[in-house]
DNA sequence: ATGTACAGTCGAACCGGTTCGATAAATTAT
DNA sequence: ATAATTTATCGAACCGGTTCGACTGTACAT
């Protein structure tokens, strides 16, 4: 690979002149610039990104940290982020925490070591646990999906309360009263918000939500499956289920299917977020879907802006909330007449 | 961040001694080593990966290049690769070519510039197009999924001919004779192999495959959808379809559904590779699935071995082919009696 | 006592860029 | 003609490590 010294030698100028010609063209004489540029392109010279990173302290990579790449929500998001990054001439350094805060910490240290220009983070840290590694991070960082108040960081996400509220209202309007929610741990931002949306809407309809009506499926399909089985083994069966995520909804649907409980005739089911090929799943699950492309683009943009203005006096942290869309499927009906 | 010079100053030794104490412990006096190590850990020193990369010419990252992160096949693979890499203390630099060879080239140059230790590549380059960027790549590189003969590179993949053959045989045994395949372009390795498996099995059963019985769905769901619509608008309708991938099968199934053609009563459908939640899709598509976890682990292992032995005289390129598994669904039946 | 081997340590060069302050040459002002 | 300013270029320091060859001092063989 050609180095800047090769170019300098061939152009019969010093390496500093070459560097200047390339990075600050106005500071060298036009003829010199021409000569340097011509030679540089003729031997296919381009500056070594590693050397530039060492000198400047930042690379042309952005880090993306998610809890589970396999979740289609993150998959789609990642795709969009990668497209954006490519346009801006950045590469994506990806990592998956698997929901382990210790690993999240390790990953972020790794990324910092690689001098990523910034990080897009969907943290798996729960309320009450330490978030010092985020707070003390000395580089641009935009949180998405999972928020932490009072962290003073940018955030891009969806209106999770609204998502749950829309779905709950839909069920209430159909006449359901006995509704269960399958959610995540309350330590997780999105599950807390989604639970709130559920509780508030129920309460507004004059129905008090008992704690045992909100079950923790940990955002996992297998847990949702088990819980649903158990739920319908008991005496008091709900007539409808609000699933706090796409995979929870699918796990629940699988359980209903295996129990030969008809959805929507016997039990209605709604969920949050889409899955690929949802049109082929019978019944198609009525859901409040996040606008992933908007979300990804906005998060990328915000990060890029932070990267650009890094070092200057930073703007106030910004929060951007998108509204989910209600997509009707065939998974809801009036409750069976009792 | 603490540098090696800080440690040297505090330990009252030269920086070279610090470096030796850390990297080649036997070459310094035990007491010196102790002192250096103690001070290093007390001020939280760890070597700057960027500086190490600049000096050594290789980083602790591996590049992974796929054609479409959104495809669950790659999603699963990626997850597994990332887990493996993490264990070996490597990070994953990810990119998505979107099926564009020019972009693949650009991405690989980018990765080479980042001094990745090696690359896992599922190339989108087709037979007959230039693969010089792979051939001339001067770093460890393991191809997966998409093979190129005579490239002299390691390869990990599945037995694509077998996959298609198993499915075709299954349909033949049910009594189908008029079978269509929805595949990819023949320039792509996997589609060529899968078509071969189909053709050979049909021929062995005494059925000649006319060219119009293999259609190019470009491994895209929307193309598969359109083609299926068109196919069943015509006079001669096949009684069964072999889809060369998961997304093709889903596109085809959606089309059948929209045409109110019953699967499997009117038309049988089989495909290659799984999709998440396939159990919820009605009918569940009978498919030959690749063992993604094995594939990912093997590819990672091979790459790590190449990385370890890099510089020494390299072992012969290795090829590793896994057998797909036939997973029965409910998407096939005897052909309707004509 | 002299020569040899070796363990332990160090300075300096190097990886490949960027950037600051100095210098020399060309231009303008006095 | 001389001083002040501007323009173009360059050398050297720096980013933070690794590594080679040289140097010193001790232990052993002759």
CA A158/CA A129 separation, integer angstroms: 23
Which chain A residues touch B if contact means CB-CB below 8 Å?
A: 46, 48-51, 53-54, 59, 61, 68-70, 72, 75-76, 78-79, 82-83, 86, 91-96, 103, 110-111, 113-115, 250, 253-254, 257, 275-277, 279-282
Q: Work out the end-to-end distance of chain B between its first and last CA atoms, rounded to an integer number of angstroms.
A: 78
Predicted local distance difference test score (pLDDT) of residue A202: 98
Q: What are the two backbone dihedrals, phi and then psi, of residue B60, each rounded to the nearest 5 degrees?
A: -95, 45
The total number of residues shown for chain B amounts to: 338
Beta bridge mates, B310: B312
A239 within 8 A of A334, measured Cβ to Cβ: no
Burial letters for A49-79: b for 16+ Cβ neighbours within 10 Å, e otherwise? bbebbbeeebbbbbbbbbbbbbbbbbbbbbb
Selected residue of B57, B76, B91 to mutate for chain A interface (largest A Cβ count, 10 A): B91
- Which value, to the nearest 10 degrees, does the dihedral of the CA atoms of residues B62, B89, B39, B57 take? -20
Q: What are the two backbone dihedrals, phi and then psi, of residue A285, each rounded to the nearest 5 degrees?
A: -80, 125
Predicted local distance difference test score (pLDDT) of residue B338: 58
Tell me whether residues A61 and B114 touch, CB distance under 8 A: yes
* Cβ atoms within 10 Å, residue A265: 12
Verify if strand C has an atom below 7 Å from the CB of B55.
yes
CA of B53 to C1' of C16 (A): 12
Q: Which region, left, alpha or beta, applies to residue A90 given φ > 0 means left and ψ of -120 to 50 means alpha?
A: beta
Of A301, A300, A245, the residue nearest A270 (C-alpha): A245
Of B95, B254, B280, the CB nearest to A254: B280
User: A83 to chain B, minimum CA–CA distance in Å?
Assistant: 8
Helix axes A49-56, B49-56, angle to 10 degrees: 150
Q: Strand, helix or coil at A224?
A: helix
Task: Compute the C-alpha angle A168/A172/A175, nearest 5°.
Answer: 150
Residue A312 contacts by C-beta under 8 Å, 6 or more apart in sequence?
none
Which domains, and CATH codes, for chain A? 4-47 (1.10.260.40), 59-158+292-323 (3.40.50.2300), 160-290 (3.40.50.2300)
The list of chain A residues with pLDDT below 70 reads 338
Predicted local distance difference test score (pLDDT) of residue B249: 96
- The DSSP call for residue B27 is G
Strand order in A325-327's β-sheet? A214-216, A179-183, A240-243, A268-272, A286-289, A325-327
Predicted local distance difference test score (pLDDT) of residue A338: 58
Show pLDDT as tens, one digit a residue, over chain B (338 residues): 899 999 999 999 999 999 999 999 999 999 999 999 999 999 999 999 999 999 999 999 999 999 999 888 999 999 999 999 999 999 999 999 999 999 999 999 999 999 999 999 999 999 989 999 999 999 999 999 999 888 889 999 999 999 999 999 999 999 999 999 999 999 999 999 999 999 999 999 999 999 999 999 999 999 999 999 999 998 889 999 999 999 999 999 999 999 999 999 999 999 999 988 888 998 999 999 999 999 999 999 999 999 999 988 778 999 999 999 999 999 999 999 85
* B233 exposure class (CB count in 10 Å sphere: 0-12, 13-18, 19+): exposed
Residue where the block lists tokens 């610090």? B18
């Amino acid at each position: 690979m050609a180095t800047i010294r090769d170019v300098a030698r061939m152009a019969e100028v010093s390496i500093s002149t070459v560097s200047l010609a390339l990075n600050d063209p106005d500071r060298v004489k036009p003829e010199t610039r021409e000569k340097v540029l011509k030679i540089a392109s003729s031997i296919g010279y381009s500056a070594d990104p590693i050397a530039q990173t060492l000198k400047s302290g930042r690379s042309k990579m952005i880090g993306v940290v998610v809890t589970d790449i396999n979740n289609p929500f993150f998959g789609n998001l990642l795709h969009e982020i990668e497209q954006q990054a490519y346009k801006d001439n950045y590469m994506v350094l990806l990592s998956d925490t698997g929901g382990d805060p210790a690993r999240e910490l390790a990953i972020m240290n790794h990324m910092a070591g690689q001098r990523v220009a910034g990080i897009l983070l969907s943290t798996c840290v729960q309320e009450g646990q330490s978030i010092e590694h985020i707070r003390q991070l000395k580089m641009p960082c935009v949180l998405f999906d999972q928020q932490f108040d009072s962290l003073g960081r940018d955030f891009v996400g969806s209106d999770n309360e609204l998502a749950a509220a829309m779905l709950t209202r839909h069920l209430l309007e159909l006449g359901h009263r006995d509704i269960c929610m399958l959610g995540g741990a309350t330590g997780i931002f999105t599950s807390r918000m989604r639970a709130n949306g559920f509780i508030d809407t129920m309460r507004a309809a004059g129905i008090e939500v008992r704690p045992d009506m909100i079950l923790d499926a940990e955002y996992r399909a297998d847990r949702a499956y088990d819980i649903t089985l158990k739920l319908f083994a008991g005496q008091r069966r709900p007539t409808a289920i609000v699933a706090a995520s796409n995979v929870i909804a699918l796990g629940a649907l699988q359980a209903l299917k295996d129990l030969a409980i008809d959805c929507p005739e016997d039990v209605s089911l709604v969920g949050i977020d889409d899955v690929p090929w949802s049109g082929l799943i019978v019944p198609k699950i009525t859901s409040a879907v996040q606008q992933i492309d908007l979300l990804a683009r906005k998060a990328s943009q915000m990060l890029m802006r932070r990267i650009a203005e890094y070092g200057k006096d930073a703007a106030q942290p910004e929060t951007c909330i998108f509204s989910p869309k209600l997509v009707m499927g065939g998974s809801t009906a009036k409750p069976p007449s009792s």
